[in-house]
Structure 1
C-alpha cells in the first residue's frame, strides 16, 4: 500500500463517497481515505491518474513529495475552495451587501447580475460538482445545494439563493477549519520525532538521517538535542526530558549504563549513546505509528452514523418531493410556496454536521491522551474506556512496585544486621537485594561471609568468625527450640502477609525481616479518583497468597480481590466480570497478556516496553498509574460530547423541518440551521484539546 497526503479534504461525507468510488476501480478494493488524518492509502498496482480524477471532482488533490515540505504546518484544507477560499467568500459577501443596499437605486437586471456574480464566486465549485452528481444520480450535499440554488433562482429568489450560496461556502470553510485544527494538533504531537543524528565513526563526527542509524552505532547528543533512537548511555551524565514518551514533565536523571528513549531531549551536558534499536523499531516510532493508526479506527457510534447517513440523504430528498407536491395536490395550496419549502427541506437535509459529530472529538481525545503519555490504539478503545464500570488490576508490578521491600524488622541481637548483610552481600536474589538495601541503612560497611551455601527449601548457611549462621524461611530455624516471643512474632508477620526472612546462629534467632512487595505510593489516591470518575468496582486479581492480597487490597481501598489465581483463572474471572459490566484489565503487558486480551479494554503499563505497546489496547507510558483516571475522564468527556453533538445536529434539523408545517421554513433559516449545527459540533469537539492549568497536575479529574 502507498500512502499520500491530501489537500482540500474538508467534508467527512464526501470523503466516504470518494473512498467508495475509488474502491470500485480495478485493484481498488483495499483503498482507504483517512479523513481524520487527511491521508489516502491505495494498493501499489492501482492506476493513480484514475484516483486523482475522482478526487479532483470534489476539489481534493494529492500532495506530491516535493510539495510536502511547503505544506508542513500549513493550513491546507480550507473547504472546497483551497487557500483562496477566504478571499472568495469575502468578495462574494461584499457583492451581496452591495446588491442589498443598491436594490432601490439600480435597475432590476443590474441587481440580479450582482447577486448572480456573488453566487458564482462563492458557489461555482459546488454547482459544477452538484450538476455532475445529478447526472450520475449521486445524491450528496453538493447535489442538494445545486438543486436548491437552481430552484431558488428559477422562482426569482435571487437574494435568498445568493445568501444560501455564501452561507454554504462559509459552512464548508468552517467545517474544514475545525477538522484541520484537530489534524494540526495531532501533527504537532508527531513532530517530536528527530530528523537527524550526529554519528561518531572512528573519531569523526558526521550528521546522518536517523533512518541510516544501525544497532551498535554511537551517536553524540548535545544539550538541547533529541536522542535519535532507543539506546544506552556509554559516556556522560545528564537529565533527560522524556515527556514525548511518558507524558511526565519532570526530567529523569541519567548516567552511564542507563537506557534512554528516542525522541527524549538531553537537557544539559553531552551524552554518547549506543543505539540499541533502529529508529523504525524504537518506542517512539511505534507510538507515533500507532497514534496515527488510532485516528482512523471507526467507533461503533461512527459506524452507525455512517450507515444512517446513507439512508438519511435519500429520505430527505423524498420528504422534499412530498413537501413540494402534497399540499398543492391535496389541499390546493400555492405551488410556488411549497416548491420553495421543498427546496429549504433539501438544504436542511445536509448530513455533514451529523457525520462531523464524532471524528473531531475522537481525534482530539486521542491527541489529548497522547500528550499525557497515554497511548490509545484506536477510537473504539477510547469510546469503550469511557464506558468502563469495573477495573481489574494485577497486583505485582501494577498496584505494587514489583520489588521486594523490607517493611518490618524485629531485632533480638546486636549483630543481626551485620550477619544478614554479610550473608546476602553477593546474592542477586530479589529478597537478598531487599535485605542488603535495609542493612545498608544501619551498617556503614558490610563484611563478607565465607562458605555461603544454599539449603534447598530453607535458605542459605554461612560461616563468620568460626561460627555458623543461617538465613532463610521458617524452616531454616528447625535446629532451634524457639522461645514463645519469637513464635508470636513469626505468627504476627505471617498474619500480616509478610514474607518471612529469619537470621539465626547455632544457638538462637538474631532477628526477623518482614518483606513485602511495596505498594505504589499513588495507589490509594488512584482508587479514590477512579471512583470519583464513575468506576464502580476496583478488583485485584493476583497469584499471590490470600494474606498478602488482603493486605494490599485493604491498604488501598479496593472493592474486592481474588488471590491464588493462575493465568487461566484470571482469564475466567475477567470473562465473568465482562458479562455483567464493561471491564478493563490493568497489568504489566507481559504476564497478563491473556487477561488483557480478554477484557473489554486491556491497559498495560511499563514505561513504553515493547510488550506493553504490542499487547494492550491502551498503554500508560509512565511507570505508574497516576494518569489512568485522567485517561478515563477524557474518554468519558469524548463520549459525552459525541452524544451532545448528535443531539444538537438532529435537533436543529428537526426544528427546521417542523417549520415546514406552518410554511415558515426559508432557505436562509435552513442553511443557518445546518451551519449552526456544524459550527457548534466543531467548537464543542475542539474543547477536548483545551488543557486547564489545574488539569496539568497529575491525576486531576477533568469531568
Structure 2
C-alpha cells in the first residue's frame, strides 16, 4: 500500500492538518517545502519572496509560524525553544508539541535561513505555515496539456509580488498567492497566450457556459490562405506571392503560440509552443514555407479542438455548481422576501414551492413531500419527507410546499462540499499520471537535444546537405512534444471522477480511482451496511395470552430499558396503541433480560438462558420455536413468569432491499470475493450469508477483529476494499487497500475519512463505481500505448524521409484529440 501514495499516512495526518485554517489554505494552494540547506524552493510558499535576504514577514508583523517535523516527545519542543532563544534577533519562541507548531517573533533582521539552520542542527525540519492572506483562485482558458500549466507557473513565479502559484491543467484552475492587483495577474497570464478570470461566486456558474470559439476566424482565414497558395503553386502563380500567402498564414495562426513560446523560454520551460514554433520558424528558414504554414495551422486547429474537448470534462464540475439556486424565498413574519443565498443565515426559514430546487441544506418545519435526491445521492426514486427530516441543497421538491429551517450556510452545504472534494480530487495526480509526467520530463529534453544533434553533426561531417538534415531535425522537434502522452491520463481521471460525482459517488482522487480498478475482494460490515441497522419486530407468538396482552406485558417490562431491542419492542407497542400496565420492582438482569412485578405477578423478559436459569418448564414446542428463530438469524425475546411462558417475540435486522442486487452486480463486474464481517453469532451470520450469497463471512468479531480479518484477506493475496459507515468501522477502513463509506449525504465524517463515498445510504452505486474505475484504467492504458505507438511510428519514418513536417504535427495534435475523445467516453458510462 505504500507504493500507492501512502494512503494511510495521509489519513493519520488528517487531524493534524485540520488543526489550522492556514494549513488548509496552504494545502489547497500547494504544500510548502524547504530544502535541507535551509533555502526555500522556488515553488515554496515561504514568506521570503518579497523581502531581501529571506527576511520574515507576516500579517502579524515580524512573526512567522512553522510546522516542525521530527518531534517525538515534549522534551524535543523544549530543546528547540532553548536553542532558538539563544539566536540573536529572536525575541520570542513558542513550540506547541501536540500541534507540531513553532511560532517565532523577532527583530527585522531575523531571517528564515537562520531559524531553519538552527532547528536543522538539532535534527528537525521546518515547513513554513502560510502567512499571506492574498491567495486567490483563477480560471484559466486555453490550456491543452500539462506543459501549458507548467509554463504559466514558471512565468508567474518569476514575478517578485507572487509568493506561490499552482496551476491545475485538468480542472483549469490556478491558485496564486500574490500582493499585486488581480489585473496584473490577468495581464501576465494573457502575455503568455492564455486567458484568466478571477474565480468568484458571481462568475462560477457562468464561466463554463461560454463556448470557446476564440481563434476559429483566424484558423479559417489562414487555412484559406494556405489553400490559395497551394493551388497557386500549381497554376504558375509567382513564387513570391505564394510565399507571401504562406507567411501571412503563419503570422495569423502562429502569433499566439510564438508569443507563448517566447515567455516559456524566458521562464526556462520547454513546452509544446516552443517546439512547434521552432519547427515552423526553422521550416521558413530553409525555404519550406508551405510546410511551416501547415505546421502552424494544424497546431492551432488541434489546440482549438483539444480545448473544446477538454471543456466537456470540466463541465462535470460546472453542472454540479448549477444545481443549487442562487436565490431563495425567506419568510419574514407574514411576508416573503427573495434574497441571494449568500445573505441567508442559519435558522432562517425558507419557503420551497413544488417543482423548485432546494437552495440550502435545512430541516423541514412544515409540510410533506417527495424529494428527488438524485443530484446528491444518485438515487432514482424520490424520498418521502415530513417535518423533522433533513433536505439538501440542489435536490428537487417534487410536490407540496415546504417551510424549511436553514441548518448550513451556502459554503457549508452538502453540495458545496461535494464540489470542493471533487475539485480537489481532480487536481491530485494519480500514480500513473505522475509516472507519465516524469517520463515526459525526461523524454522531451532528450529528443530535443537529439533534434539539435541531427541538424548539426551529420552535415558538419559531410554526410549530406544542411537543408535535408535541418528538415529531419525539425520533424524530430515536433515529435519531441509529448502532448498526447501527458494528456492521456488526467483527462480520463477527470472524466471518471465527474461521472461518479454525477451518480452520487465521491472518489477522492486518481489514486483511489486506480485502486478501485484493481480491487477483487470487498469486505462489508453487516449492521447498517448490508442490513438496515434498525431492528424490527419479525414475529409475535403468544402461548397463554392474547397477542395484545403479550405486547402489553412486554411493553411494561422493556419501557425502562435502554437496550436497542427493548426500544424496538416499546416503539412497536406504541405504534399499535398498546397500553402500558402498572409495574413495580423493575430490575435489569445483566446479559439476560429484565424483570418486573405486574398485577402482583413477577414477569421476566429475556433470552433462553434466563428462563433456563429460572428452571422454568420449557415445553418442546416452545424450545423448538426459539431455536428455529435463532437459526433464521433472529433475536428472540421470551416473555413469561415463574409458572409459564406467556409468549415469544422475535426481532430481526432486515437486509436492505438493494443489498442482494448490489452484491449480484459486483459479481457481474468481476469482484471475486464478497466477504461479510459481523459481531453476530455464527448462526445469524450464516443465515445472512446465505441470503446475500457472499463468498465467506467472519462472525463474532469485535472492531479490532475486523482489522485482523482484513489483514487475513490481504495476506491471502487479495486487494481488499472495506465498506462501512466511515465512523464505527474506521480501523478496518484504514487497514483496507481502499476505504468506502456509505451514507455520505449529511455525514461530514464519512465524507472526510473515506477514500470513496457512496452518498446514498445503500450499496446501489457500488457496482457502477467498480465498473467505472476499471473502464477508466483500460482507457488510460489505451491512451498511453496509443500515444507511444504514434511517436514510435513517427520516429521510424523520419530517416527514410517519408515523414513530412505537417504529418509530424498531425500525428501529435491528432493523437492528442483522439486520446481526449477516448477519455470522454467515461462521461457516458452508465449503470
Alignment TM-score, normalising by the size of structure 2: 0.77
Deviates more, 1:536-545 or 1:644-653: 536-545
Residue 248 in 1 paired to residue 379 in 2? yes
- Aligned partners of 2:684, 2:692: CA distance in 1, in Å? 13
1:611 and 2:749 matched: yes
Secondary structure of 2:653's aligned partner:
strand
Q: Secondary structure at the match of 1:521?
A: coil
CA positional deviation for 1:166:
0.7
SS of equivalent to 1:402 = coil
| Residues 421 and 362 of structure 1: CA distance in aligned 2, closer, same or farther (over 3 Å) | farther
2:166 corresponds to: 32
* Counterparts of residues 120-199 of structure 1 (less than 5 Å): 120-134=251-265, 138-199=269-330
Between the aligned partners of 1:459 and 1:569, the Cα distance in structure 2 is 27
Once the two structures are superposed, the pairs formed by residues 101-120 of structure 1 within 5 Å of their partners are: 101-103=231-233, 104-120=235-251
* CA deviation after TM superposition for structure 1 residue 149, in Å: 1.0
Change (3 A) 1:84 1:487: closer
Instruction: Tell me the distance in 1 between the aligned counterparts of 2:492 and 2:179.
Output: 35
CA RMSD of aligned residues (A): 2.7
Distance verdict in 2 for CA 1:402–1:178, change over 3 Å: same
User: Cα offset for 1:39?
Assistant: 1.6
Q: Which residue of 1 aligns with 2:818?
A: 680
- Specify the alignment match of 2:145 in structure 1: 11
Secondary structure, aligned partner of 1:549: helix
Deviation for aligned residue 1:645: 0.7
State whether residues 197 and 219 of structure 1, in contact with CA within 8 Å, keep that contact through their aligned partners in structure 2: yes
Residues 75 and 157 from structure 1, CA distance in 2 versus in 1: closer, same or farther, beyond 3 angstroms?
A: farther
SS in structure 2 of the partner of residue 665 of structure 1:
coil
Bigger drift between 556-565 and 372-381 goes to 556-565
Distance 1:593 1:137, change over 3 A: closer
Map of 2:787 onto structure 1: 649
Q: CA deviation at 1:209?
A: 2.1
Number of the residue aligned with 1:481: 617
1:447 aligns with 2:579: yes
Which residue of 371, 383, 400 corresponds with 1:269? 400
Once the two structures are superposed, what CA deviation does each residue of 1:606-625 show, in whole Å capped at 9, x if it has no partner? 25122211221111111110
Which of residues 218, 229, 250 in structure 2 aligns to 1:99? Answer: 229
- Give the count of matched residue pairs: 687
CA distance in structure 2 between the partners assigned to 1:331 and 1:316 by the alignment: 23
Q: Which residue of structure 2 lines up, in the alignment, with residue 203 of structure 1?
A: 334
Question: Where in structure 2 are the equivalents of 1:619-658 lying within 5 Å?
Answer: 619-658=757-796
SS at match of 2:787: helix
Q: For 2:428, what is the secondary structure of its paired residue?
A: coil
Structure 1 residues 274-673: aligned runs within 5 Å: 274-325=405-456, 327-328=458-459, 332-408=463-539, 410-413=541-544, 415-424=546-555, 427=559, 429-435=563-569, 446-451=578-583, 453-457=586-590, 458-461=592-595, 468-477=602-611, 478=614, 480-578=616-714, 580-608=717-745, 609-673=747-811
Whole-angstrom distance in 2 between the partners of 1:219 and 1:611: 27
2:176 counterpart residue number: 42
Relative distance call for 1:148 and 1:497 in structure 2 (3 A) is same
Quick check: 2:218–2:253 contact (8 Å CA) kept in 1? yes
Q: Deviations over 1:358-383 (max 9, x none)?
A: 12211111111111111112222222
Give the number of the structure with larger relative contact order, counting CA–CA contacts within 8 Å between residues 6 or more apart.
1
- Is 1:58 matched with 2:192? yes
> Cα offset for 1:654?
0.7
**2:568, 2:209 → 1: CA distance?**
56
Unaligned runs of 5+ in 1: none
1:507/1:226 CA distance change after superposition, 3 Å = same
Pick the aligned partner of 1:2 from 120, 130, 136. Answer: 136
> How far is 1:408 from its partner?
4.8
Q: 1:592 Cα deviation (Å)?
A: 1.0
Q: Which secondary structure state, in structure 2, belongs to the residue aligned with residue 215 of structure 1? A: coil
Counterpart Cα distance in 2 of 1:635 and 1:106: 57
The structural deviation recorded for 1:479 is 5.1
1:585-637, Cα deviation, whole Å (9 max, x unpaired): 11011201222223222111125122211221111111110110001111111
Change (3 A) 1:634 1:70: closer
Moved more, 40-49 or 177-186: 40-49
